[in-house]
A and B are shown apart, each in its own frame.
Chain A
Amino acid sequence: MHRGWTASGLVAVTALIAMGTLVSAASAVVEFPRKASYYRIWFVRAMDECTAANAVDVRGPFPNLPATGCLQANTETDDAVPMGFARLLITHTGKIAILGGGFPFGVRLGLALTLRVTRRVAEVRHPAGSNKRVTFEDVTIQCGNTPFGFRPSPAGRLAGVTTLSACLGSSLSDLAVGNIEVVNASLINLDTGKVFATAGVVPVRG
């Protein structure tokens, strides 16, 4: 009797430990935040990366700068489109708005976004499961009505509105839901295919 009780107790304890392990493993999946309302940036000019091979000595006049740097270059990045300013807003409703000024009339601009989306998925296989949290491979999308993109007005103003789902296209539109990491956002000159602006700031005391 006692021995039987001990055996069943051991089974129960083992089961509890196993359950505990499973619960702790499950809780390792972090929760989404409750709220993330918008992604709002201003754009600055995109410059070519400075590498040691292109570096020159910096001699002044500012004392607190690195000893080396590279002459500003725009070979990999676009050097054709001038820009006064540009802003981007992506909201939690999936709306995307671009606003800018100081662009030449006639250029074709695109917005490139790299996103990493994690969302609940109703059904997965290999292994099979339902209502699972899935992270998808990073996807880079282009917003703007291809092939014309966003077009500045004759006055050089840029104002465009679209949606995440429209940028993703019908085959990927369900990626516009969930924990959406904006890995990268940049403006592209569609005529050269080169990036001319990325997120940043021009400090006012500069």
Chain B
Amino acid sequence: MKRNVPVLGAVATLLVLGRAAPAQVSFPSIARGYATWLVRAMDPCDPATLSVVSPTNLPLGGCAQANTATDDALGETFAILRVTELGKIALVGTGFTFADTLRVRLVIRVTRSGIDTSVGSNQNVTFMDRSIECPRAPETFSVRPNGLVAGSTDLGACLAPDMDLNRGNLQILDASLIDTANGRVMAVPGVLRVGMSAPRHR
């Protein structure tokens, strides 16, 4: 009976170690990025300040549209943002005013493999969330005389001096278009659905 004690101890240790070892989740084999149109950014409504009567299939409360925390200075007819697997950030849009200047703000969480750390080598490491603006200051996306903005920049350059964060499993937690004149968010990913009537149910 006493002979079995070390064996049981070893089994228990293995079980504990097996449980403690984190299950290493692998990255997806492919994720080609982000391609989205941008809608206007509005101030959040929290809490609701008015009652909605009609139409009926809506929350009972809401807020009058406000753009105090968000930008109210720039116009926008449309804008498209792309973040590609080649590490490019591209912006195209119209309806802006000549000489307006814009940047793309991204909040990212990067996990890289094959990193040597103080607790071991060849580890998967998740870095602290980063908020970056592209292109990197003092550069901007500038609006042309015809109201068009079209440009691209490199993700690695925006991340400087931590350029090597532009590899691995790159989560885009937030993306927005910034009016550099006031630093406010003017547009965010989304869709515009026109019409007052409720869409058909499937």
Contact = CB atoms under 8 A, between A and B. Distances in A.
| Chain B associates with chain A | yes
Interface of A: 28-52, 55-66, 68-75, 77-79, 82-86, 90-94, 102, 116, 118, 120-127, 132-139, 162-166, 170-183, 196-206
B112 A65 contact: yes
Given A33-B78, A137-B48, A177-B197, 8 more contacts: A35-B77, A44-B170, A56-B117, A61-B116, A122-B53, A196-B25, A199-B171, A205-B87
Nearest to B161: A64
B30 interface: yes
Given A91-B191, A134-B65, A33 B123 contact: no
B86 to A, nearest CB: 7
A82 B26 contact: yes
Given A39-B190, A134-B63, A66 B34 contact: no
19 contacts: A32-B192, A33-B79, A33-B192, A36-B37, A60-B115, A64-B162, A66-B128, A71-B119, A73-B22, A74-B22, A122-B196, A135-B44, A136-B59, A163-B199, A178-B193, A181-B189, A197-B28, A201-B170, A203-B155
A71 B123 contact: yes
Contacts of A123: 52-54
A197 B80 CA distance: 23
B173 A198 contact: yes
Nearest to A199: B172
Interface in B185-202: 187-202
Given A45-B25, A57-B117, A135-B43, A173 B61 contact: no
Interface of B: 22-48, 50-59, 61-67, 71-72, 75-79, 83-87, 95, 108-109, 111-112, 114-119, 123-129, 155, 160-173, 187-202
Nearest to B36: A39
A134 B166 contact: no
Contact of B117 (A71, A139, A180, A203): A71
A28 to B, nearest CB: 5
A63 B27 contact: no
Contacts of B173: 198
Given A69-B125, A102-B29, A163-B199, A37 B37 contact: yes
Contacts, number: 381
Nearest to B35: A40
Q: Which of A44, A77, A121 has the most CB of B within 10 A?
A: A44
A38 B191 contact: yes
A137 B61 contact: yes
Contacts of B196: 120, 122, 177
Contact of A59 (B23, B43, B61, B116): B116
A3 B12 CA distance: 102
Contact of B198 (A35, A174, A182): A174
Contacts of A200: 31, 33-34, 108, 169-172
A71 B167 contact: no
A172 B167 CA distance: 40
A191 to B, nearest CB: 15
A163 B95 contact: no
Given A33-B76, A123-B53, A66 B162 contact: yes
A75 B201 CA distance: 37
Q: Which of A102, A122, A170 has the most CB of B within 10 A?
A: A122
B191 A65 contact: no
| Top 10 A-B pairs, shortest CB-CB distance | A206-B167, A72-B124, A36-B37, A36-B192, A57-B118, A133-B65, A134-B62, A42-B31, A201-B33, A69-B125
Contacts of A120: 196
A198 B175 CA distance: 13
Contacts of B162: 64-66
A180 B193 contact: yes
